[in-house]
Amino acid sequence: MLDFSLGDEERQVRDTVRTFIEREVMPLEQDVLRNEAAGYAPLEPGVIKELRQKARNAGFWGVNTPEEYGGMAMGAVMSAIVAMETGRTFVPFTFGGNADNILYAGNEEQKQRYLIPTIEGERRSCFAITEPGAGSDARAIRTRAERSGSDWVINGEKTFITGGNDADFCMVFAVNDKEKGADGGVTCFLVDRDMGWKSSPIPTMGEWAPASLSFEDVRVPAENVLGEVGQGFALALSWIGQGRYMIPAGAIGAAERMLGMAIDYAKIRHSMGHPIADYQAIQWQIADSHVEIESAKWLTLYAAWQVQEGRDSRHASSIAKLQGGLMANQVVDRVLQIHGGMGYTKELPVERWYRELRLLRIFEGTDEIQRRTIARNLIKGHAKLGLIGE
């Protein structure tokens, strides 16, 4: 029999996170809005560091990090639930104690230099595969890595790199064998900023601040190859596949928060002698939004469960990513509509979420790419209809 309930420990983690977000993080939203209006960073790095330390002091650190590295090892499902809770605020806060999954592929020396300091919050990484001519088609990357004695020399450009402006090292993917390409000719390198790569911010319509990274004769020692030479594309797919379910997870939290705002506003906003919550046009928007949020929630948790069980989660993650992005954009549009002119102003945070959530249909695989993946899996028989829990 299927059991959709959370265990006592899981409920405690969820409730602890929700309380922390409500008490410690949400009060900073007005600071974020003021800072962004003035052209400053949303929050000072010290503020985020202090919040993370408060969480750590409370025993909350590294939800999905193995216990041997000081984490809680609660798995992908709880990571998704935590992301739903942190998604309830637009303050750029995430709990600490985590590292990109492919850093665990490093050797012991690399783990000491990169993995453990990242988990501890002492170092910041970024994942660099997207290029000006290789976004959805990751196989088309052109950044080159060539042997030079015992080192590698990297030349190329990466774009739309999340965290690239703040990272002190990157995991960069470069072609080391053009003839083999993605099938044995792409390698992942751990490249410190002081090795010579540069970053510049890319202005966007939202508050996401990606970077353009440039590599000009950047010399990297051979011991900085992550994994094996030529096997970088498999690592890239592992990074993308393992984390894709986290995108709709955050969107679910944002959509639930906004729908709650819309319900509250509909009760107090009067038109023609009645609260607008009395009108069917408003009720249907509220109902449709709730149905879509719940649908995305269970698709996302199913994808996370597959990751946690060590199953091939790519198909389920594509479904969750597609539905989650569409859901979030539909919900925020309805919420803005329910708020009317006030929703369009900067006095309320709805317009900020409106801009921010539009990104979900583009990054980490566009809607079109998700549809292509889903359809291809069905047509080729990689995914089958009518199965439950397989």
Phi-psi region of 70 (alpha: psi -120 to 50; beta: other; left: phi over 0): left
Q: List Cβ neighbours of 138 (8 Å cut-off, separation of 6 or more).
A: 129, 130, 182, 233, 236, 240
User: 36, 351, 364, 368: which is the annotated catalytic residue?
Assistant: 364
**Cα separation of 47 and 41, whole Å?**
12
Is-catalytic flag, 44? no
Count other Cβ atoms within 10 Å, centred on residue 79.
24
Contact 221, 150 (CB under 8 A): yes
**Do residues 248 and 293 touch, judged by C-beta distance below 8 A?**
no
Q: How far is Cα 329 from Cα 335, in angstroms, rounded to an integer?
A: 10
Q: Measured between alpha carbons, how far is 124 from 170 in angstroms, rounded to an integer?
A: 8
- H helices of the chain, in order, are 8-20, 29-37, 45-57, 75-86, 108-110, 116-119, 232-243, 246-268, 280-308, 314-339, 341-344, 350-357, 367-379
Which pair of structure tokens corresponds to residue 369? 């790419």
**Residue 326 to residue 259: CA distance in whole angstroms:** 15
Residue 4: how many CA atoms within 13 Å on its side-chain side? 6
Active site residues: 364
